[in-house]
Copies of this chain bind each other. A is one copy, B any other.
Amino acid sequence: MQFEITKNTITDIKELISSNNNAAISLMLKELHYADIAEILDELNFDDAIYIFKLLDSEKTSDILTELDDDIRDKILQELSPKEIAEEIDELETDDAADIIADLSEEQKEKVIAHIEDVEHAKDIVDLLRYDEDTAGGIMGKELIKVYEDWSMFTCIREMRKQAESIDKVHTVYVIDNDEILKGRLSLKSMLTTSTKTPIKEIYNDFIISVKVDDKDEDVAQVMQKYDLVVVPVVDEMGRLVGKITIDDVVDIIKEEADKDYQMAAGLSEDVEADDTIPQLVRGRLPWLVLGLLGSLGAVTIMQNFQDIMANPQYKALFFFTPLIAAVAGNVGVQSSAIIVQGLANNNIKGSIWKRLLKEVSISLINGILLSILIIIFGEIVHYDFIFTLAVSVSLISVIIIASLIGTFVPLILDKRNIDPALATGPFITTSNDIFGILIFFNIAKFILGF
């Protein structure tokens, strides 16, 4: 009952388009879910995509619009008149509608809103446009079924029927008082199992978790995850019910947040995808590469200061170890910062700073000593002086300790100052650790070897 888009699907569609066989196209697309049609349109060139888009009725195209890739959606919207866009908007739920309108130019916005037929719908959308994109208000929808606590179950079901006709999916029935204050919810179960004469007051569930309009979207995601909610009501500063957020919107936020952290750790400065254009991909990759390069050039300068060692036949091998020191410092830094960034994202960083410091130093000491054993074995095999490998090992252990402390505390400090801690992962931490690593390495080696 699911549909998989194959190369054949796309070739078939292209052929049907070039032969203008509209009847066959309609027949083919009729049985498809809008998310599948959106996937097909994303694959086609723009002319073909708009051809198909104009062939479908607005009930289907409106849903397709919400699923399309941003760039192709923008292009399609440019092809439509304000009236046509308004027709699409009429079919959409308020949250999706507001998302689309928010992307239009100020001038287009007004025109489109003026063309929306259902005035209540237009009002709701205009209301939603006022909220910040990344707050509960910015992702909520206005569609909800609400009943007053004073009603009987009979009135309630009658009114619900009226309300339900204009709402696509009914998730939860909310109970409010005469001031529109959210009081609780009515479960489908209680509706199915209670007599129609029972007053709502007696049967509604007053244990209800809600979010505030200005809560951050990530916090909404965390609340819904923690309490396993499928839908959460949104209240304003006075506790009045103003909207609801469904889990599918929040899933996207959870996914985006996780993807963003991952991309930062991987040194991508923009949200790039494999099928983006070359300029987009260059823009996404270049900034961190430049930063990394500048850091490494710093390391070059440091090494220049130690270049006399190259004349020393015993100690010149120190230069063979600089990539090793930089790599270990980088790896340790990324590991430590990843643990903290993920801990912060999942809200489980607790305990005192000193405990954490002690813990990081212990872990680094253990790892450092174990890695040093490997270096000493390697030194024996290639016949380095023992004092030389010892110097390398001691430097390595120091570098590991410093790198892990930087990796741990930089994201913590950023978070305290309300800067995204994920900034401190990937190339940023690698680069700073490169420089510190090489600096520490040569200085400790100098101290031990006494050159």
Contact = CB atoms under 8 A, between A and B. Distances in A.
A391 to B, nearest CB: 15
A170 B188 contact: yes
B290 A331 contact: no
A189 interface: yes
A259 B293 contact: no
A165 interface: yes
A327 B267 contact: no
SS class, residues of chain A in contact with chain B = helix
Contacts of A211: 2
B247 A278 contact: no
Interface string A412-434: 00000000000001110011001
B223 A343 contact: no
A197 interface: no
B230 A342 contact: no
A51 interface: no
B304 A382 contact: yes
B262 A251 contact: no
A19 to B, nearest CB: 25
A359 to B, nearest CB: 6
Nearest to A286: B367
Given A289-B328, A296-B324, A251 B225 contact: yes
A387 B259 CA distance: 42
A118 interface: no
B258 A161 contact: no
A203 interface: no
Contact of A327 (B43, B230, B330): B330
Nearest to A299: B323
A197 to B, nearest CB: 16
A316 interface: yes
A236 B116 CA distance: 45
Interface stretch (A71-79, A132-140, A333-341): A333-341
A300 interface: yes
Contacts of A16: none
A310 B290 CA distance: 28
A96 to B, nearest CB: 10
Nearest to A291: B331
Nearest to A358: B278
A160 interface: yes
A335 B255 contact: no
A319 B442 CA distance: 14
A323 B320 contact: no
Given A286-B367, A304-B382, A362 B292 contact: no
A33 interface: yes
Given A266-B425, A370-B286, A209 B304 contact: no
Given A262-B261, A268-B335, A326-B326, A282 B425 contact: no
Interface string A430-448: 1100100010000000000
A106 interface: no
A272 B339 contact: yes
B296 A323 contact: yes
Contacts of A250: 251
Given A320-B304, A338-B263, A1 B430 contact: no
Given A225-B255, A290-B371, A310-B310, 5 more contacts: A35-B227, A262-B338, A263-B338, A263-B342, A275-B348
26 contacts: A1-B208, A2-B211, A164-B192, A164-B193, A169-B189, A170-B187, A224-B251, A250-B251, A251-B251, A251-B254, A265-B266, A268-B335, A273-B348, A274-B356, A278-B366, A281-B339, A281-B359, A285-B332, A289-B367, A289-B371, A290-B370, A292-B328, A294-B374, A296-B323, A296-B324, A323-B325
